[in-house]
Amino acid sequence: MITWTIGRYSDRSLSIMIFLAAAVWGLYWVPIRGLEQLGVMGPWSIAYFNACPILVLVPALFIWRRSLHINFTPAVFAGVILGIGLALYATGLVATSVVRATLLFYLTPIWSTIIGMIWLSERVTALRILAILCGLLGCFLLLRTDQGFNGSINVGDLCSLLSGVFWAVGAASLKRWPGSPTLTITSVQLMVTTVVGLGLGLALFDYPTPDLDSLKAGFALAFFTSVFVLLPSVLLIFTISQILFPGRVGILMMSEVLVAIISASILLPDEQMALLQWLGAAAIIASAFAEVSFSTEPRTEPAG
């Protein structure tokens, strides 16, 4: 399993890995948009996309079943919290603008650092605070539009804000119990995201149930992208999060925002990037570079 070998890499290498793995999540909107074009709309597309990797993980759970009892309760707890966080984030993307949802979710480094200080005795340096501020400034500039930001709060905004808090707690749980099997955590997370995301979506919106033909048409897209793109990145992020502190992980995962906005700017003619957004992208890269190059923290090796 992945935890058997990941611990031999340096913190700098692990930080680069998580920066790149999170960047993959920035393309999350591409298959979701594709599924909607095939008739699998709104929360149904989120549920379908997250359910497909479970088909692959079930045999893996059977093969490694003897090792799954290790830290089983903490692993399930982390998986549930992370799953709720991602379900809330997906709901926020549907219920409010992508700009507001992403910006509110990526207050995560603040929550992660606070939780890390209280729960994990994480040492917070001036460089860490500067990296957080630089990254948040980058998010603000990158996500800024000509219309600016509406000050009113809606249910999608609330879901997005809560998603960042849940993700921060889940990330701290991974660091708190580094011996928890990543396979268990990931399986629980995907199941919870599927069920909670669909439940929230159906409770808040009125999307039609996809017919069998639409599900068949979207299966290849959902299965390939979720199993061969999303799943490896999730496994990698969860494993490395058992070694690095959640504050650092939160900063490095801002690469998702970077890729999401740039890819949309390239692939969607209506979403071109302005100068301020390019400056925001540079600020995010600078914050990650500072965190990777100059910050140090004690290691915690995951059990293998």
Q: Nearest 5 degrees, angle CA 9-CA 224-CA 17?
A: 15
User: Which token pair is 85?
Assistant: 């966080």
User: Which token pair is 48?
Assistant: 């379908």
Q: Is 194 contained in some domain?
A: yes
Q: Is 164 contained in some domain?
A: yes
User: Which token pair is 5?
Assistant: 């070998």
Q: Is 1 contained in some domain?
A: no
Q: Is 304 contained in some domain?
A: no
Q: What is the pLDDT of residue 145?
A: 56
Whether the CB-CB separation of 144 and 36 falls below 8 Å is answered with: no
User: Which token pair is 233?
Assistant: 């990145």
DSSP state for residue 211 in the 8-state scheme:
P
Could you count the other beta carbons within 10 Å of the beta carbon of residue 11? 17
Q: Is 3 contained in some domain?
A: no
Q: Is 302 contained in some domain?
A: no
Could you count the other beta carbons within 10 Å of the beta carbon of residue 14? 23
Q: What is the pLDDT of residue 297?
A: 56
Q: Is 2 contained in some domain?
A: no
164: Cα within 13 Å, side-chain hemisphere: 26
Biggest CA pair distance of the chain: 55
In terms of residue numbers, what domain contains 263? 9-294
Q: Is 4 contained in some domain?
A: no
Q: What is the pLDDT of residue 304?
A: 45
Question: Which amino acid makes up residue 13?
Answer: S
C-alpha torsion sign, points 261, 267, 269, 275: positive
Q: What is the pLDDT of residue 303?
A: 47
Q: How many domains does the chain have?
A: 1
Please give the average pLDDT of every successive group of 10 residues along the chain, which has 304 residues. 62 88 86 89 89 92 84 94 93 74 78 83 78 78 58 76 92 89 94 93 86 95 94 92 84 82 76 73 75 58 50
